[in-house]
Amino acid sequence: MADSITNILVVGIGGQGVMTAAEMLARTALNQGFDVKKTEVAGMAQRGGVVSSHVRFGAKVYSPQIDPGEADLLIGFEAAEALRWLPHLRPTGVAMVNTLRLAPPVVSAGLYDYPADPIAELAASGIEVHAFNAGAIADGLGNAKLVNTIMLGAISDHLPFPAEVLKECIIEGFRAYKPKLADINAQAFDAGRTAGQVA
């Protein structure tokens, strides 16, 4: 990771947990002693609009903005959104993508054409792509809202701190606020980690 700063771009559609995932990454990095900067853009997030969050951490970080070609990790909660943000990923970067295809309002409004096969286009770019159906994993665990924990589990082996550190930060949050969901989220993290390794 260049200049000892880790740049992570989290993108998707409103309501998928993009901002929550970015917040968990930022909080974990902060707990590990990193300087952290985070920014987010929510366009009509409540109505299924596009959402993106930039998370940067390292010894000293001056700006939260990730420039094109500078992201180390791209976490795509929705396939076409991952493709749209591909120019921000460095050639040696990793894209972890949920295969969900969910056209945002800009498509139904005729402002943007939904790509025929966003995953194939990502793979054709030459970058390292891991794509899997996070929604199916969440459904298998009995809770559709587990997608963001699954995506964090999937990316956990590509971070500059142990995967267990991120997992513990997530689970602690649930223990504090929604204890009944702590165990299922631990399972979701592990399932995502496995999917990210094999996808």
111-140 pLDDT tens trace: 778 888 999 999 999 999 999 999 999 999
User: How far apart are alpha carbons 25 and 46 in whole angstroms?
Assistant: 22
pTM: 0.92
Q: What's the pLDDT score for residue 110?
A: 77
Residue pair 76/96 in contact by the 8 Å Cβ criterion? yes
Beta bridge partners of 128: 94
Torsion of CA 166, 169, 174, 179, to 10 degrees: 110
Q: Looking at residue 2, what is its pLDDT?
A: 43
Show me where the domains of the chain are located.
2-198
pLDDT of res. 124: 95
- Which residue in the block uniquely carries the two structure tokens 């005729």? 110
> Which pairing describes strands 6-13 and 71-76: parallel, antiparallel, or unpaired?
parallel
pLDDT of residue 1: 44
CATH number of the structural domain 2-198: 3.40.920.10
Identify which of 173, 199, 160, 161 has the alpha carbon closest to the alpha carbon of residue 20.
173
Query: Torsion angle, CA of 142/144/148/154, rounded to 10 degrees?
Result: 50
Determine whether 154 is exposed, middle or buried from the number of CB atoms within 10 Å of its CB (0-12, 13-18, 19+): buried
Instruction: For 107-135, give one letter per residue: b (16+ CB within 10 A) or e.
Output: eeeeeeeeeeebbebbeeeebebbbbbbb
Query: What is the C-alpha separation between 71 and 87, in angstroms, rounded?
Result: 9
Angle at 49 between CA 48 and CA 52, to 5 degrees: 120
The pLDDT value recorded for residue 46 is: 53
- Please give the average pLDDT of every successive group of 10 residues along the chain, which has 199 residues: 81 89 96 94 64 95 95 96 95 95 75 87 94 96 95 97 96 93 97 89
pLDDT at 16: 87
DSSP state of 133: -
Q: How far apart are CA 88 and CA 17, in angstroms?
A: 21
